[in-house]
Amino acid sequence: MASEEVVEKCIENYKYSFRNDILSEKVAFITGGGSGICFTIAEIFMRHGCHTVIAGRKLGRLQLSAETLSKATGLRCVPVQADVRKPQDVIAAIDKCLQEFGRLDIVINGAAGNFLCPLENMSFNAFKTVLEIDTMGTYNVSKVAFDKYFKDHGGVIINISATLHLRGNLLQAHVGVAKAGIGKALD
């Protein structure tokens, strides 16, 4: 783990909007769960009884986040290193989830790439990378979860996206294109 690694903080005085056991004994697989919005989604799910697997590329951050989440909620949070652009990583991560918990109820596709850059200055690789993480990553995780568990047992897939594809956005054309792909898959 790098010394500059930032650990997310849990909500200090959580107020329940729903029954605190509404997700009891459920299992969620959350990409991008080591930080940001998806860290907080993992926390809220866990506070409502859901065990979680958080997946991402930075194992050190995932381990710290899982420890923080488990300590705050008393539930299991399993960190799994996986790059959503790589189907074999996703297969191994979903297999780990099923090995640890024996089930999978919810997938949160939250892994994303984003940076500000005028389109005319963007490299081919930078544009491609955002599409691979956002659009292909969402597809890869959804397909593997469906093939390995949801096809026979059912489940829920939630894709975290943005509205950048609805209107032009000066420094985020690449993100808009990637989010349009996710949005179109949901039409």
CA distance 46 to 159: 19
CATH H-level superfamily of 27-186: NAD(P)-binding Rossmann-like Domain (3.40.50.720)
Mean pLDDT for the stretch of residues 162-177: 76
pTM of the model: 0.91
Other CB atoms within 10 Å distance of the CB of residue 26: 19
Q: In this predicted structure, what is the pLDDT of residue 1?
A: 43
Give the model confidence (pLDDT) of 76-113 as tens digits. 999 999 999 999 999 999 999 999 999 999 999 999 88
Domain segments of the chain as ranges:
27-186
More confident residue, 184 or 91: 91
Taking phi over 0 as left and psi of -120 to 50 as alpha, with beta for the rest, 126 belongs to alpha
